[in-house]
Amino acid sequence: MKTPTDAAAERLIHLRAAGVSLVLDLRGSGLPTVLHWGADLGDLSQEELSQLAQAVTMPSMPGFDDVVPRVALLPEHGTGWPGQPGLTGHRQGADWSPLFAIDSAETDGLSVRIRAADNTARLGLVLEAGLTPSGLVRMRAAVRNDDTVRPYTLDGLMLALPVPDAATELLDLTGRWCRERAPQRHPFNAGTWLRETRSGRTGPDAALVLTAGTPGFGFGHGEVWGLHIAWSGNHRVLAERLPTGRPVVAAGELLLPGEAVLGPGEQYTGPWLYGSHSGQGLDGLSARFHDHLRARPGHPHRPRPVVLNTWEAVYFDHDLDKLTHLADLGAEVGVERFVLDDGWFRHRRDDRAGLGDWYVDETVWPNGLHPLIDHVRALGMEFGLWVEPEMINPDSDLARAHPEWILATGGRTPADRRSQQVLDLTHPEAYAYILGRLDALLAEYDIAYLKWDHNRELVDAGHSPDGEPAVHRQTLAVYALLDELRARHPGLEIESCASGGGRVDLAILERTDRVWASDCNDALERQSINRWTGLILPPELVGSHIGAARSHTTSRTHDLAFRAGTALFGHLGIEWDLTRASESERAELTRWVSLHKQLRGLLHTGRVVRVDHPDPALWAHGVVSHDLTEAVFALTAVATPVAAHPGTLRLRGLDPDATYHLRPLSLADRAPGMERGTPAWCTKSGISLPGSVLERVGIQIPTLHPEQLILLHLTSCPSTP
């Protein structure tokens, strides 16, 4: 319903969804404040909400303001808020401390839209906040320059959500190339914990979800509040605990100097922020993101095709006979999508030339890609192609013809990284060229999938000829390019790859169908990378490939069971020169691909469970079907367990009243660890126990060597009369 303006200003609005409550206080003329974000409070009357407001309102204290500043969605310096203000900017030194008053408010029961203005500073504001069906808080803000003459320089726009005082620990992620999304925890002490990304993309070191929680929270226990910014460019997230008010988490785009100068009547709209609350630890937080992504209209609902990617098989050595033989072997082991990686376009014999020249190289492919694609399609597989449209090599025909199409600050060209620069997609002609070339390739060839890479950070990223900062506009141009290609080619799937997992966020996921989590296929590294990428992404959106026995990036060696068992849960692929694999290896690989196909209906729709085990050497995770009738778990030794007998594994997420048949899932004659040290239950016949026993008591863990795993399959037993 729409609430009249005068009534809305006196209301307390209670939004509810999927076990979450968000209570907004719109009384008075100031911006809305959050009285509660967390567990569902039930169906409260306006009187009860008024009593709630009284219960949580802080009194004034000696030495502080007469009225304690409230935690607004957009914190304002003008209210006396001593922390980071939500809006920073000025008009030639004036209007730097706006104080907004609500003009109107509308609610439909799941969201509220508020219009506010500061008539003195001549600024308008629109705030949107609500709950998604999965219980995520979703909010954003837009600011408008209402001055008819003077511009307004916007320096930053951030929104904040309060968290309870009980949230005394912080968790976020960091990382680098081939070591993406490494967790870090620390106390949520007084002061500001600030994370900034200035690389022009989400970044392998992005916080991903800045999470505050109760002491010792884990995957299956504790109460947590997490904030994610859906933006693929520069951004900042922070957690702040002040002596004068409640702790908050906040986020917004990081605007470069002069990047958002609003002329009269112009408006800047910030990215969407998503907040996830859970009373059941990080798994509950993740489940809200997973449910939200799976509910997207464009979410891939058909079985995710098993991929063979050619990069680690041939690198730049493109040869039709070798690639067709590779495709033959891929089809034999069960591959459903064949992806030709880097090296197919003009001048691209190594990574130092050719980016931007998006024409099939006639010297390598005299008949174009048709012979290879026809062969792949005849084998029953889809065809995919690697591209890196946002980049340009200085050694390319395009750079020589249009040096002005390189992002630069003016007067100098940024230092090369990976022998490449960034193509300025804010330049209309550059944008049109890239769109035209990709459109032409997709029109000429039967291409079902693009592996879209982004291998260079945006440094000194300015727009010619004056070099004004362009990261914000470049990010929007990339979104527009992706949107237009998908509109012109319905059914096209796109992977977000950025030096591996450098662009993972909900905004890029609105336009892509999976992410390449890392360039590292080392199964031990991928145990951690996949685990923490899953903080917001469900398994079907995480590209997970089986590499060669000796890792391309770490030189570590693993057996096929460990490599395949690690990749099994995600969007499975192969990154391996199968022409060098033995016949027995290909036979075993075929069995793993077959197992994945049998289980992917469960793996790619069920609820993800990650088990907290006291020994850090033992990791366990699984997927449980939504009807609780089937589950698959993996128990992995990522190092040598401390104890000779490592104890029990408690399996969460099951129906406590159902009886489950549990057995080890092995593709060999016996399950891993069938030597001495194997517990009695670990036989092909398995055991049957109630879900309550499996969760509260658990099962004895078999002796696992480091970098070895065992898979467990559970099915509920039919109830007996």
The answer to the question of whether 177 is labelled as a binding residue is yes
Amino acid residing at 614? P
- pLDDT tens-digit readout, 561-593: 999 999 999 999 999 999 999 999 999 999 999
Tokens of 99: 């104080």
The answer to the question of whether 519 is labelled as a binding residue is yes
- pLDDT tens-digit readout, 159-209: 999 999 999 999 999 999 999 999 999 999 999 999 999 999 999 999 999
Compute the distance between CA of residue 86 and CA of residue 73 in angstroms, rounded to an integer: 8
Strand pairing report for 152-162 and 137-145: unpaired
The answer to the question of whether 451 is labelled as a binding residue is yes
- pLDDT tens-digit readout, 202-212: 999 999 999 99
Compute the distance between CA of residue 32 and CA of residue 285 in angstroms, rounded to an integer: 25
- pLDDT tens-digit readout, 268-320: 999 999 999 999 999 999 999 999 999 999 999 899 999 999 999 999 999 99
Compute the distance between CA of residue 603 and CA of residue 592 in angstroms, rounded to an integer: 14
Closest listed residue to residue 284, CA positions, set 17, 19, 635: 19
3-state secondary structure of 222: coil
The structure tokens 């769109």 sit at 435
Tokens of 454: 């982004």
Q: What is the pLDDT of residue 67?
A: 67
DSSP string, 28-94: SSSPPEEEEEEE---S--HHHHHHHHHHHPPPP-TTS-SSPPP-BSS--GGGT--S--SEEEEBTTB
Residue positions annotated with a catalytic role: 453, 519
For helices 583-603 and 320-333, give the axis angle rounded to 10 degrees.
Answer: 60
Strand pairing report for 224-229 and 273-278: antiparallel
Lowest mean pLDDT among 229-243, 332-346, 476-490, 678-692: 678-692
Q: Is 183 exposed, middle or buried (0-12, 13-18, 19+ CB in 10 A)?
A: middle
Compute the distance between CA of residue 628 and CA of residue 607 in angstroms, rounded to an integer: 9
500 touches 542 (CB < 8 A): no
The structure tokens 């036979």 sit at 587
Instruction: Give 394's contacts (C-beta < 8 A, 6+ positions apart).
Output: 406, 416, 419, 420, 421
Q: What is the mean pLDDT of the segment spanning 487-501?
A: 97
Q: Which helix (H) or strand (E) holds 705?
A: none
- pLDDT tens-digit readout, 392-419: 999 999 999 999 999 999 888 899 889 9
The per-residue pLDDT of the chain, averaged, comes to 94
| pLDDT confidence band for 669 (50 / 70 / 90) | very low
Q: What is the pLDDT of residue 304?
A: 98
- pLDDT tens-digit readout, 97-126: 999 999 999 999 899 999 999 999 999 999
The one-character DSSP state at 149 is S
The one-character DSSP state at 207 is -
| pLDDT confidence band for 8 (50 / 70 / 90) | very low
Percent of the chain at pLDDT > 90 equals 88
Q: What is the pLDDT of residue 411?
A: 81
630 touches 716 (CB < 8 A): yes
What's phi and psi for 626, nearest 5 deg?
A: -65, -25
Q: Does the structure show a pLDDT above 80 at 677? A: no
Q: What is the mean pLDDT of the segment spanning 16-33?
A: 95
- pLDDT tens-digit readout, 326-381: 999 999 999 999 999 999 999 999 999 999 999 999 999 999 999 999 999 999 99
The whole model's pTM is what? 0.96
Q: What is the mean pLDDT of the segment spanning 438-466?
A: 96
Q: Does the structure show a pLDDT above 80 at 465? A: yes
**Number of C-alpha atoms within 13 angstroms, CB side, residue 691?**
16
| pLDDT confidence band for 675 (50 / 70 / 90) | low
Q: What is the pLDDT of residue 720?
A: 55
Compute the distance between CA of residue 184 and CA of residue 344 in angstroms, rounded to an integer: 40
Q: Does the structure show a pLDDT above 50 at 673? A: no
The answer to the question of whether 341 is labelled as a binding residue is yes
Give strand ranges (E) for 324-466.
337-340, 382-387, 391-392, 421-422, 449-452, 462-463
Measured CA distances, 542 to 181, 511, 554 (Å): 13, 15, 21
Domains of the chain, CATH where assigned: 7-57+69-294 (2.70.98.60), 308-601 (3.20.20.70), 608-716 (2.60.40.1180)
Compute the distance between CA of residue 529 and CA of residue 537 in angstroms, rounded to an integer: 12
The structure tokens 């995480």 sit at 542
The answer to the question of whether 453 is labelled as a binding residue is yes
Tokens of 610: 């990650």
Lowest mean pLDDT among 76-90, 525-539, 675-689: 675-689
The answer to the question of whether 342 is labelled as a binding residue is yes
Q: What is the pLDDT of residue 718?
A: 86
Q: What is the pLDDT of residue 61?
A: 64
Q: What is the pLDDT of residue 646?
A: 85
What's phi and psi for 405, nearest 5 deg?
A: -90, 10
What's phi and psi for 343, nearest 5 deg?
A: 120, 5
Q: What is the pLDDT of residue 64?
A: 61
